[in-house]
């Protein structure tokens, strides 16, 4: 996920474009770059947050009434100045900012390099200005050169494009990445998201995939891929700027939960890279995961999966406890470090300690973060920036990477197919939201919760309980369903709600019996089960799921409802779920 803005105005563009791109910093903060057109294309760009780079480069000083800007969340190539957008063609005539991933960029890059084009970055984006240059050199009109370029791209893209020789025209394109148009009396805009332009105009045109726009100061034209004009409606935005930044949601957490179906899809696009990495592993006879918090819970799902599917002995260590167990690690162990931030001090310290002793793999969301420089192999989750302190979409993307890893370790094609079907099913899950709001109202005043599950879904219970603690300040305890009878049953009464995770599968009957024991002690049950499950009728509140998801894949979906549950209890208790007290997004101390 990156943020892009472009404007054509009746005045110098730099101050406005800088203000606008700052509103998209939540979409990426590795680097910033701006290009404007005067009698040439002027580009200023650098690595770091917007204010840091601005204090060195002084963006407002740039001349020109037309410009494009970009904040980057790195996907291809480290967050360096060279990889920052905008990217230009060989002669600096075309300049492009891009949000998305060009899947066939390697082939295109090779073709262009063979034809003599010179590349300056490692990005997938840079093929775009070079392709436009190529087609202009072949004699096509500008718009046709862009059209021909787009037809050669596979993947997702929102683009804003400048041409030195057409200094009053900005072209934008959208395909599977967001792009909106802002319309005003003083000029026109494109942007990844509404907050970028809300200070300038509240009149917006929403684009669909494969639509092209041509903007001048006084005119907006929308076309299809055949360059035929399309009539579009102008919508008036009534959100406040703060709400707009959250995509119309009240909090980042709920916005990030809603992004989960897309995140599953994006992370599945890493399948080939994960397959390559699995092919490069040395021989190992044991796997060890090291992580903290939510990433630790994702690791536990990994342990259940790897042991049951591949038979490779696997264990999970908390990074902060790693010191006490590291003596058993040897060169036949593969160690997998999971961390969304890539900056967690406990996890990095564990990696540094062991890196020369065993083969290491990091599963991480932030490209270029510290851990990516220390591990032998890196797999990127594709969750985009996560702003809310509570991890939601990054957990889902970690799980997708783990399932893919297991599928390739085990050469299990069927599992890969099931993962693709999950990305569609996850959209249905968002349908339980209203019912979860009612359950949240009912239990908002409880002081303690239990979450119970078995096998693959014991980690789901732990993660559900962690979400509850983190953002509602209610004590939540995750437990293996079969373990309550060995002690905690003594605590149960009608004041303690118990969340039972009960997907269909081999563990169903045993878990069901445990839940009956719990019910018999007077506790109120909230049950997560398949929507054709009639055994649970009358046992408590139910949250229903598609029956084809059995216990092996349930961790990917059932957690979404538990994230919603924690979110709505937090709202009921008047807490800001995005900024829970005493916690930070990235924990850089041991």
Residue of 12, 355, 444, 585 marked catalytic: 585
C-alpha to C-alpha distance for 284 and 152, rounded to whole angstroms: 42
Residue of 2, 7, 88, 529 marked catalytic: 2
Matching residue, tokens 């040395």: 282
* Distance of closest approach, residue 567 Cβ to ligand M6R, in angstroms: 12
Q: Is 175 in the site for ligand M6R (CB under 6 A)?
A: no
* Distance of closest approach, residue 491 Cβ to ligand M6R, in angstroms: 25
Output 125 or 344, the one with its CB closest to ligand M6R.
344
Q: Of these, 294, 299, 320, 333, which contacts ligand M6R (CB under 6 A)?
A: 294
C-alpha to C-alpha distance for 99 and 69, rounded to whole angstroms: 11
**518: Cβ contacts below 8 Å, ≥ 6 apart:** 450, 452, 484, 489, 492, 498, 500, 525
Work out the angle at residue 76's Cα, subtended by the Cα atoms of residues 71 and 80, and round it to the nearest 5 degrees: 55
* Distance of closest approach, residue 288 Cβ to ligand M6R, in angstroms: 16
Rg of the chain in Å (alpha carbons): 25
Q: Which among 151-159, 287-295, 305-313, 520-528 is the span making contact with ligand M6R, rule CB under 6 A?
A: 287-295
* Inter-residue contact 379 to 401 (CB < 8 Å): yes
Output 312 or 587, the one with its CB closest to ligand M6R.
587
Positions in 325-354 near ligand M6R (CB under 6 A)? 339-341, 344, 347
* Distance of closest approach, residue 460 Cβ to ligand M6R, in angstroms: 14
C-alpha to C-alpha distance for 546 and 542, rounded to whole angstroms: 13
**Binding-residue total with ligand M6R (CB under 6 A):** 16
C-alpha to C-alpha distance for 165 and 589, rounded to whole angstroms: 52
* Distance of closest approach, residue 74 Cβ to ligand M6R, in angstroms: 16
Strand partners, 155: 102
C-alpha to C-alpha distance for 481 and 484, rounded to whole angstroms: 6
Q: Is 391 in the site for ligand M6R (CB under 6 A)?
A: yes
Question: Where are the alpha helices (H) located in 473-580, listed in sequence order?
Answer: 508-520, 554-572
570 phi, psi to nearest 5 deg? -60, -45
Q: Which among 83-91, 166-174, 293-301, 512-520 is the span making contact with ligand M6R, rule CB under 6 A?
A: 293-301
330 phi, psi to nearest 5 deg? -135, -175
Q: Which among 153-161, 286-294, 325-333, 449-457 is the span making contact with ligand M6R, rule CB under 6 A?
A: 286-294
Sheet holding 94-102, edge to edge: 87-88, 94-102, 155-163, 170-175, 211-215, 220-223
Told to judge if 151 belongs to the known catalytic residues of this protein, a careful annotator would answer no
C-alpha to C-alpha distance for 423 and 260, rounded to whole angstroms: 9
Q: Is 470 in the site for ligand M6R (CB under 6 A)?
A: yes
Output 153 or 379, the one with its CB closest to ligand M6R.
379
Q: Is 385 in the site for ligand M6R (CB under 6 A)?
A: no
Output 99 or 397, the one with its CB closest to ligand M6R.
397
Output 333 or 344, the one with its CB closest to ligand M6R.
344
Q: What is the dihedral of CA 364, 366, 368, 369, to 10 degrees?
A: -80
SS3 call for 449: strand
Using CB under 6 A as the criterion, what x/- string covers residues 557-586 for binding ligand M6R? -----------------------------x
Q: Of these, 292, 316, 429, 436, which contacts ligand M6R (CB under 6 A)?
A: 292
Closest C-alpha among 281, 486, 256, 518 to residue 365: 256
* Inter-residue contact 557 to 425 (CB < 8 Å): yes
Q: Is 390 in the site for ligand M6R (CB under 6 A)?
A: yes
**209: Cβ contacts below 8 Å, ≥ 6 apart:** 174, 175, 176
Question: Which tokens go with 417?
Answer: 């197919």
The DSSP call for residue 490 is G
The residue whose Cβ lies closest to ligand M6R is: 293
Q: Which among 159-167, 289-297, 299-307, 405-413 is the span making contact with ligand M6R, rule CB under 6 A?
A: 289-297
C-alpha to C-alpha distance for 361 and 335, rounded to whole angstroms: 6
* Distance of closest approach, residue 162 Cβ to ligand M6R, in angstroms: 37
* Distance of closest approach, residue 267 Cβ to ligand M6R, in angstroms: 15
Using CB under 6 A as the criterion, what x/- string covers residues 220-259 for binding ligand M6R? ----------------------------------------
Beta-carbon neighbour count of residue 564 at 10 Å?
26
* Distance of closest approach, residue 390 Cβ to ligand M6R, in angstroms: 4
Output 166 or 587, the one with its CB closest to ligand M6R.
587
C-alpha to C-alpha distance for 74 and 225, rounded to whole angstroms: 28
Told to judge if 585 belongs to the known catalytic residues of this protein, a careful annotator would answer yes
Output 4 or 366, the one with its CB closest to ligand M6R.
366
Q: Is 360 in the site for ligand M6R (CB under 6 A)?
A: no
Work out the angle at residue 404's Cα, subtended by the Cα atoms of residues 528 and 412, and round it to the nearest 5 degrees: 95
Output 125 or 347, the one with its CB closest to ligand M6R.
347
Output 274 or 390, the one with its CB closest to ligand M6R.
390
Q: What is the dihedral of CA 540, 541, 546, 548, to 10 degrees?
A: -20
Q: Is 320 in the site for ligand M6R (CB under 6 A)?
A: no
Strand partners, 557: none
Output 9 or 335, the one with its CB closest to ligand M6R.
335
Q: Of these, 64, 195, 261, 293, which contacts ligand M6R (CB under 6 A)?
A: 293
* Distance of closest approach, residue 338 Cβ to ligand M6R, in angstroms: 7
Closest C-alpha among 456, 450, 428, 544 to residue 497: 450
Longest Cα–Cα distance in the chain: 81
* Distance of closest approach, residue 256 Cβ to ligand M6R, in angstroms: 11
Beta-carbon neighbour count of residue 385 at 10 Å?
21
Output 292 or 543, the one with its CB closest to ligand M6R.
292
Residues that bind ligand M6R (CB under 6 A): 292-295, 339-341, 344, 347, 389-391, 466, 470, 586-587
Catalytic residues: 2, 585
């Amino acid at each position: 996920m990156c943020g892009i803005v472009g404007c054509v105005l009746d005045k110098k563009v730099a101050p406005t474009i800088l203000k606008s791109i700052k509103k998209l910093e939540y979409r990426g903060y590795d680097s910033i770059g701006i290009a404007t057109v005067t009698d040439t294309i002027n580009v200023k760009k650098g690595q770091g947050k917007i204010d840091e780079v601005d204090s060195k480069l002084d963006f407002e000083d740039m001349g020109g009434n037309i410009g494009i800007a970009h904040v980057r969340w790195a996907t291809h190539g480290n967050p360096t100045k060279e990889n920052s957008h905008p990217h230009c063609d060989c002669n600096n005539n075309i300049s492009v900012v891009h949000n998305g991933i060009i899947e066939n960029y390697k082939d295109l890059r090779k073709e262009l390099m063979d034809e003599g084009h010179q590349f300056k970055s490692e990005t997938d984006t840079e093929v775009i200005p070079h392709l436009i240059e190529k087609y202009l050199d072949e004699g096509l009109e500008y718009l046709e050169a862009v059209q021909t370029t787009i037809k050669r791209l596979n993947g997702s893209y929102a683009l804003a494009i400048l041409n030195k020789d057409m200094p009053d025209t900005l072209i934008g394109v959208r395909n599977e990445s967001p792009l909106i148009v802002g319309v005003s009396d003083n000029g026109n805009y494109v942007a990844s998201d509404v907050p970028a332009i809300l200070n300038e105009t509240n009149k917006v045109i929403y684009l669909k995939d494969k639509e092209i726009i041509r903007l001048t100061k006084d005119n907006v034209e929308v076309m299809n891929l055949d360059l035929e004009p399309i009539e579009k409606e102008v919508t008036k935005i009534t959100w406040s700027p703060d709400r707009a930044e959250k995509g119309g949601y009240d909090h980042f957490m709920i916005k990030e939960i809603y992004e989960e179906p897309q995140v599953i899809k994006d992370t599945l696009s890493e399948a080939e890279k994960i397959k390559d990495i699995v092919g490069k592993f040395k021989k190992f006879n044991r796997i060890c995961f090291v992580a903290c918090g939510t990433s630790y819970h994702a690791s536990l799902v990994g342990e259940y999966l790897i042991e049951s599917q591949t038979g490779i002995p696997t264990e999970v260590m908390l990074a902060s406890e790693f010191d006490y167990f590291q003596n058993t690690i040897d060169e036949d162990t593969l160690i997998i470090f999971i961390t969304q931030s890539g900056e967690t001090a406990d996890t990095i310290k564990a990696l540094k300690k062991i890196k020369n002793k065993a083969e290491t793999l990091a599963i991480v969301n932030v490209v270029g973060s510290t851990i990516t420089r220390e591990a032998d192999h890196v797999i990127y989750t594709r969750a985009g920036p996560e702003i809310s302190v509570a991890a939601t979409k990054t957990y889902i993307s970690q799980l997708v990477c783990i399932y893919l890893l297991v599928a390739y370790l085990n050469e299990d094609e069927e599992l890969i197919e099931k993962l693709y079907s999950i990305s569609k099913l996850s959209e249905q899950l968002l349908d339980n939201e209203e019912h979860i709001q009612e359950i949240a109202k009912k239990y908002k005043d409880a002081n303690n919760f239990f979450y119970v599950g078995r096998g693959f879904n014991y980690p789901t219970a732990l993660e559900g309980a962690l979400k509850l603690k983190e953002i509602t300040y209610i004590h939540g305890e995750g437990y293996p369903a079969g373990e309550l009878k060995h002690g905690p049953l003594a605590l149960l009464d009608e004041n303690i709600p118990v969340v039972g995770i009960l997907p269909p599968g081999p563990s169903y009957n045993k878990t069901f019996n445990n839940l009956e024991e719990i019910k018999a002690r007077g506790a109120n049950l909230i049950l997560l089960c398949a929507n054709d499950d009639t055994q649970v009728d009358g046992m408590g509140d139910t949250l229903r799921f598609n029956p084809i998801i059995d216990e092996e894949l349930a961790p990917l979906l059932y957690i979404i409802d538990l994230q919603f549950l924690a979110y709505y209890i937090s709202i009921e208790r008047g807490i800001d779920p995005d900024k829970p007290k005493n916690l930070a997004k990235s924990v850089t101390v041991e």
